[in-house]
Amino acid sequence: MLRQLPSGCIALAVTSPPYWNTIDYQVDGQIGQCSYEDYLAQLLEVWRETERVLLPNGKLAIITPIMPIPKSSMAEQHTRHLKNLSSDIEHTILGHIQSLYRYSLFVWQKQTTVKMFGSYPYPPNIYEDNTIEFINVFVKEGEPIPVPREVKEASRLTQEQWLNLTMQVWPMYPEDVKRAGGHPCPFPVVLPQRLTMMYTFRGVPEAGFQGDLVLDMFNGTGASCVAAVSTGRTYLGVDLNPDYCRVAERRVRYERVNEAAVMLPRLRVRKPGAYHQPSLFDEDADEDLSTDAEQLALDQPVPQSVDV
């Protein structure tokens, strides 16, 4: 499908590729039912075609997790094994596609139920909660194509929107699987909606502009398409699964998202606890250091003598 598109027609490509071989979608030609190295090579061909169809200064946003690999797939390795899809995909893109450059990196903080993994309740094998995915944004080399002033004004962002969209951590609940038509790994519409508002222009028919074209090469059940049509952009979604395509068509026809939904809560950074860490430039630094050192000494267990 991508090979049928003309070069330089896409303003934004936003997608989440298959997570290697963790899910079999039961369709011919699916990517990932192979070795990990071949999987990355298959994806590289998709990224090459995506680069070709991108406009100069067009963006490619790829959403991927850090993926734990089941021990059944790594029988020869006793320790836990992770695949950092974002890092590995970035390495292949920057190493093989000269006109794509690293542009931005955002973190999707998935607000999910807290679970405990590893050797609980004892060390040493304590695993992270693994509730994030990376949104890795690349840009195609070239100057932006000029757009009329009225088109720019139609996509003008408020200061509040600008500051919210540029937060690097995006706290969002995952999409409900049933609501998304049964796709096992849907992302919420607000995620591509934010990227669409950041990197593209809405349509202004009276100015002869129908809206930038947004592409999702692994469209699933159409979240990126819903985001595009909800914000006045045009869209193209590609997927091998005909059932998902039918769900995507229905969603695009009937589902809309309010632009106010892009406003996410800002995460707050808390100060450390009660322990006081003095500055070396405080007038009372020596006294503070002495007091803290004494307190730390009191907090330490008394060494036990051992006969050897």
pLDDT digits (tens, 9 = 90+) for 178-206: 655 566 667 899 999 999 999 999 999 99
At 11, is the secondary structure helix, strand, or coil?
strand
Q: Report the predicted TM-score, pTM, of the whole model to 2 decimal places.
A: 0.84
For residue 294, CA distances in Å to 12, 35, 41, 88, 286 come to: 59, 57, 59, 48, 12
pLDDT-derived band at 302, boundaries 50, 70, 90: very low
AA identity, residue 57: N
What pLDDT, on the 0 to 100 scale, is given for residue 278?
Answer: 55
Considering all CA atoms of the chain, what is the largest pairwise distance in Å, rounded to the nearest integer?
A: 91
262 vs 252: CA distance, rounded Å: 18
From 62-76, 134-148, 289-303, the region with the lowest mean pLDDT: 289-303
- Looking at residues 147-153, what average pLDDT do you find? 96
Q: Can you list the alpha helix ranges (DSSP code H) found in 101-222?
A: 149-154, 159-165, 190-199
260 vs 238: CA distance, rounded Å: 27
From 216-225, 227-236, 269-278, the region with the lowest mean pLDDT: 269-278
pLDDT in tens, 112-149: 667 777 888 899 988 888 899 999 999 999 999 999 99
From 124-128, 168-172, 260-264, 268-272, the region with the lowest mean pLDDT: 268-272
Considering only CA atoms, which of 131, 262, 252 is closest in space to residue 188? 262
- Looking at residues 30-44, what average pLDDT do you find? 94
Considering only CA atoms, which of 190, 253, 189 is closest in space to residue 223? 189
> The domain 2-262 is classified under which CATH number: 2.40.50.100, 3.40.50.620, 3.20.20.70, 3.40.50.150?
3.40.50.150
Q: Which residues contact 117 (CB under 8 A, 6 or more apart)?
A: 126, 127, 128, 129, 130
Q: How buried is 72 (Cβ within 10 angstroms: 0-12 exposed, 13-18 middle, 19+ buried)?
A: exposed
Q: Which two tokens stand for residue 98?
A: 């000269």
189 vs 191: CA distance, rounded Å: 5
Asked if residue 108 lies in contact with residue 70, where contact means CB atoms within 8 angstroms, the answer is no
85 vs 64: CA distance, rounded Å: 6
